[in-house]
Amino acid sequence: MTSPVGLHRVVEPAGVLPQAAWRLDADPAIAPNEVRIRVERLNLDAASFRQLSEKHGGDGEKVRAEVLEIISTRGKMQNPVTGSGGMLIGTVDEAGRRSPLGLRPGDRVATLVSLTLTPLTITDGLARWDGRSEQVPCDGYAILFARSIAAVLPADLHPELSLAVLDVCGAPALTARVVAEHVARRERAGDVRPVTVAVIGGAGKSGSLSLAAARRAGAGRTVGVVPVAAERDALAAAGLASEVALADARDPVALSTAVTSALGAPADVTVVCVDVPGCEHGAVLATADGGTVIFFSMATSFAAAALGAEGLAADVTMLVGNGYVPGHAELALELLRGEPGVRALFEARLAAD
């Protein structure tokens, strides 16, 4: 019997969901409720790519070899250190007659579920990838389950640009929801103070989208925090934040000082979009009592976040960004189209890659 969440594809260990499985069955023959995608490009998540690149000292050949080894061994792309994967774009090759996804052969799509739970086979040895960028041109195939999510690629955007945006589309959607809730709460209480938002990693993909989403959701003041002067200048030129601050997010005191100096007080909402570990305590310290911290980075230690908040006696709500909010793909693409600063940052990043 075929499971809508892919249990029938789990090889080992038995009884777990595909994301938690060590190995999946990536057989291209599909069940009636599955879809087979001919893969064109993978987008490795930032935390995973950084870990692999640092492990191999930037040697692209070694990075490529390890990615191939992971996929061939596990039947999916799941970094064994970070536990994360990424997403892909491709063309629908075959759709099972009972698939509820509404996809047809020939549709060009981006998967909105992680590669950590997507059966995947690479057939070209990643011959066109130099191992030095998050985006991985390739040939192969992937399987979507009945409970998977995919978006048909928009005709007005370059596929690589769409892939980069859709890879992080959960971040701006959840940021917008949380900021709107804070704004509504203040309005109900007759509190005229503006809601303030800090985005750690504001010049990155998820960070720039989150800054734009926060402003549209009613944030009165925003600060984007970045680690180096080049990113500070790029984010300031993009015009997405009220203030831009320079700080190492791994230094709790420096991060908190940068945010409070920029905003005049700790932030009501802090969004963590960096791809390095050790940013949890600074994010908590930079957030006002009664505020919310949203963790989007796959490098986050949620034990460190919880214990850090307890140790700081911080009355904050901490949310794990799970990558899915209804309407998240549409919102992210609309922000890209409607916010020149967002588009400029994305295009510059793709050009650098």
**pLDDT tens digits, one per residue of 268-324:** 999 999 988 899 999 999 999 999 999 998 778 888 888 888 888 899 999 988 788
The phi and psi torsions of 114 (rounded to 5 degrees) equal -70, 150
pLDDT at 305: 86
Domains of the chain: 7-153 (no CATH), 169-351 (3.40.50.720)
Coil, strand, or helix at residue 187?
helix
C-alpha 126/C-alpha 44 separation (Å) is 13
Coil, strand, or helix at residue 1?
coil
Q: Which of 1, 29, 26 is nearest to 11 (CA)?
A: 26
C-alpha 184/C-alpha 194 separation (Å) is 11
Any idea which residue has 């990615």 for tokens?
Answer: 67
The amino acid that residue 11 corresponds to is V
* pLDDT less than 50: residues of the chain: none
- Give strand ranges (E) for the chain: 10-12, 23-24, 35-44, 86-95, 108-111, 120-122, 135-144, 150-152, 196-200, 221-226, 243-246, 267-272, 287-295, 317-320
C-alpha 34/C-alpha 201 separation (Å) is 37
| DSSP notation for 325-340 | -TTHHHHHHHHHHH-H
Cβ(260)–Cβ(254) under 8 Å?
no
Angle in degrees, 0-180, between the axes of helices 328-338 and 170-189, rounded to the nearest 10: 90
Cβ(164)–Cβ(202) under 8 Å?
no
C-alpha 211/C-alpha 271 separation (Å) is 9
Q: Which of 202, 53, 205 is nearest to 131 (CA)?
A: 53
How many helices (H) and strands (E) are present in the chain, helices listed first? 11, 14
Any idea which residue has 């309407």 for tokens?
Answer: 327
* DSSP 8-state secondary structure symbol assigned to residue 241: S
Q: Which two tokens stand for residue 68?
A: 């191939």
Q: Which of 298, 283, 304, 266 is nearest to 47 (CA)?
A: 298
Q: What is the pTM of this model?
A: 0.85
**pLDDT tens digits, one per residue of 112-136:** 999 999 999 999 999 999 999 999 9
pLDDT at 300: 81
